[in-house]
Amino acid sequence: MSSIAVIGLGAMGKPIARNLLRAGHDVVVWNRSDGPADELAAVGARRAVSVAEAMQAPVVFSVLSDDRAVAETFIDSGVLAQTPAGTVHVNLATVSTGLAGRVGAAHAEHGVGYVAAPVFGRVPVAEAGALNVLAAGEDALLDRVQPFFDVIGSRTWRLGDRPEQANIVKILGNYLIACAIQSLGEAVSVAEGAGVDSGQLVELLTSTLFPGPVYTGYGSMIAERRYQPAGFSTVLGRKDLHLALDAATDQGIPLPIGQLLRAVFDEAIADGRGADDWAAIAEQQPR
């Protein structure tokens, strides 16, 4: 039995921690609110009273929401100075490449290993332990945490020795999902205007031209106007879109579709859809 901590028990963190428990690992958990930690403690997890206590585990997974949460928790707090040298911190959050570099340097300064491992897959995929793990970091660190990746995911993609390499791939993947949602919304709008059943349109397209989870899953949500519960909110979608735009700007590469999507996300949030699934941006299309 190996010991591992999970920091952040939101929609993704909780099933990840639960699967590690089911695999027989000694799991320490920490969360800002008590409810998720209490739930996991009831099935065998050990609660940490602070992030610093959780960081005493030899391997730590964190599943936080954005750059600010990661920076506040691991850089601004000074917690790394209290973390044993040799600990490996695996950051599963989708963060900017700039922050990935900062966090990696801060960890190295204190002798703490750092791996970036954002994931592809919504909550049901996490619950099934079938995530795709996008991992980057030193080979020795990746080898050390691979047994844990095997519990939470169906495949680990090793993308390089610099953590930001995993983050840019995740950012670009989410950018392409947003593009697909936008194009699906446009197609459904035009088809409905012509009197075509949107459910049949989506079924046709996803069983012939565009098979796969993105078009199938989001196409069905758009056709059914089903945006709750949110697997990934519009607010988080806008955050990841801005990460893609920032990364492209850093390289001097324009993203014209990204600029269009920026306006669409802003309008959706202004219309009260911030807490809806990000598929709700399709509702910004004219009906």
Residue 158, pLDDT above cutoff 50: yes
**Which of 118, 142, 160 is the C-terminal boundary of a domain?**
160
User: What is the CATH number for 104?
Assistant: 3.40.50.720
Residues 133 and 173 occupy one common structural domain: no
Bridge partners, 228 (sequence order): none
pLDDT, tens digit, 9 for 90 and up, residues 172-207 = 999 999 999 999 999 999 999 999 999 999 999 999
Helix ranges (H only) for 89-228 are 97-109, 123-127, 139-152, 163-193, 198-207, 213-224
Residue 21, pLDDT above cutoff 50: yes
pLDDT at 102: 95
pLDDT at 2: 86
Residues 82 and 218 occupy one common structural domain: no
Residue 287, pLDDT above cutoff 60: no
Write the single-letter amino acid at 131: L
How many domains in the chain? Answer: 2
Residues 171 and 251 occupy one common structural domain: yes
**Which of 111, 145, 160 is the C-terminal boundary of a domain?**
160
User: What is the CATH number for 182?
Assistant: 1.10.1040.10
Residues 10 and 139 occupy one common structural domain: yes
pLDDT, tens digit, 9 for 90 and up, residues 52-82 = 999 999 999 999 999 999 999 999 999 999 9
Which residue shows structure tokens 């796969």?
A: 212
Which among 170, 238, 239, 273 is annotated as catalytic?
Answer: 170
pLDDT at 285: 62
- In this structure, how many other beta carbons lie within 10 angstroms of the beta carbon of residue 155? 12
Residues 152 and 173 occupy one common structural domain: no
Residues 176 and 66 occupy one common structural domain: no
Residue 211, pLDDT above cutoff 50: yes
Q: Are 75 and 103 in contact (CB under 8 A)?
A: yes
Percentage of residues of the chain with pLDDT beyond 90 = 98
Residues 53 and 139 occupy one common structural domain: yes
Residues 82 and 174 occupy one common structural domain: no
Residues 153 and 43 occupy one common structural domain: yes
Average pLDDT over all residues of the chain: 96
Residues 147 and 206 occupy one common structural domain: no
Which residues are CB-contacts of 22 (< 8 A; sequence separation ≥ 6)?
none
Helix (H, G, I), strand (E, B) or coil at 11: coil
Residues 153 and 181 occupy one common structural domain: no
Residues 23 and 79 occupy one common structural domain: yes
Tell me the residue range of the domain where 178 lies: 167-284
| Residues shown for the chain | 287
Which residues are CB-contacts of 256 (< 8 A; sequence separation ≥ 6)?
none
pLDDT, tens digit, 9 for 90 and up, residues 169-178 = 999 999 999 9
CA 181 to chain centre: 17
- In this structure, how many other beta carbons lie within 10 angstroms of the beta carbon of residue 66? 17
**Which of 160, 190, 209 is the C-terminal boundary of a domain?**
160
User: Can 239 be counted among the known catalytic residues?
Assistant: no
